[in-house]
Amino acid sequence: MSRVLVIGDVMTDVIVQPEGPVVQGSDRRATIRSRPGGSGANQAVWLGSMGTEVLFAARVGVADQPMYENYFRGLGVIPALGADKSLPSGVLVTLLDPDGERSFLTDRGANLHLCAEDLPPSLLEGVGMVMVSGYSFFAATPRHAVQALLATARSRGIEVAIDPASIGFLDEVGPAEFLRWTSGADWLFANDTEAETLCGVVGFEPQMRLLGDHFSNVVIKRGRYGAALGGKDGLRLALPAPVVPVVDSTGAGDAFAAGFVAAHLGGAEPADALARAIVAGAEAVQFLGGQPAA
């Protein structure tokens, strides 16, 4: 199996699960936990847990670099972390609804300074796929660095996968711009809301055809309804999801993408890869946090 290079954010997730509606100006009891997170970090750790050789490129605060390097190595991930002297590592606050849906407050910190020095072409040695979190496109410095590395990857015949990652930031930059930055990638992993935002139509079958004009393969994550795979030729495959108790949906999409990529690079047929992705996503929603339970 080829190595996977994951590029994305490192965050500390502060997960807040109130016992009821927030009381403005007063108290509400809540469960509050701190967990390692970040879309790229989540994908890398899930891939490592699946036995895939994975290299993770990101940027953290200089004081945190040794800790994060040890953390990722301990989970089977090879870290390639830049150290930022001016910004701390990123922090994300997750507010959980009773049904497991979440809202985010994001301080991306050092992730905003990911640069070309952090992403040298040497990272591509032995790599079969580059997975990029959409967060890396939402600020100019990391976007330019990622685009340069992806151009080199394509010239070497290395597959490229994109995960849009954030509806809020997609709306800020505009779907057309995001598609311009990412068009030509081999794989798009989008949830149904991201797919609708990117192409402006409802329904995963027409979304496949429209997004297929930009990406060779389109995978749409449909939550409790499962997932679908297709492209400009339309829908190729759709599978249901198992019914499981939902505790926290944070990281479910990252687990899904990791499951698919691990299976795909291991030689699995598309139906098997999609099935493994759905199982991984279903596992991820059953506990707090975006990375595999220890």
| pTM metric for this prediction | 0.92
Which range marks the domain in which residue 140 is found?
3-11+37-90+108-284
Q: State both tokens at 30.
A: 């809540």
Distance CA 42, CA 208 (A): 26
Count of the separate structural domains present in the chain:
1
Q: Which of 188, 258, 288, 191 is nearest to 45 (CA)?
A: 258
Judge contact between 211 and 204, C-beta under 8 A: no
Judge contact between 258 and 6, C-beta under 8 A: no
- Residue 129 in any domain: the answer is yes
Would residue 183 be called left, alpha or beta, if left means φ above 0 and alpha means ψ between -120 and 50 degrees?
beta
Judge contact between 12 and 36, C-beta under 8 A: yes
- Residue 195 in any domain: the answer is yes
CATH code at position 188: 3.40.1190.20
Q: State both tokens at 157.
A: 């015949």
- Residue 292 in any domain: the answer is no
- Residue 31 in any domain: the answer is no
Q: Where does residue 279 rank: exposed (0-12), middle (13-18), buried (19+ CB within 10 A)?
A: middle
Strand stretches in 38-195, DSSP E? 54-61, 77-84, 90-96, 102-107, 127-133, 159-163, 187-191
One digit per residue, the tens of pLDDT, for the chain of length 294 reads 689 999 999 999 898 989 988 888 999 999 998 888 999 999 999 999 999 999 999 999 999 999 999 999 999 999 999 999 999 999 999 888 877 677 889 899 999 999 999 999 999 999 999 999 999 999 999 999 999 999 999 999 999 999 998 888 899 999 999 999 999 999 999 999 999 999 999 999 999 999 999 999 999 999 999 999 999 999 999 999 999 998 878 789 999 999 999 999 999 999 999 999 999 999 999 987 788 866
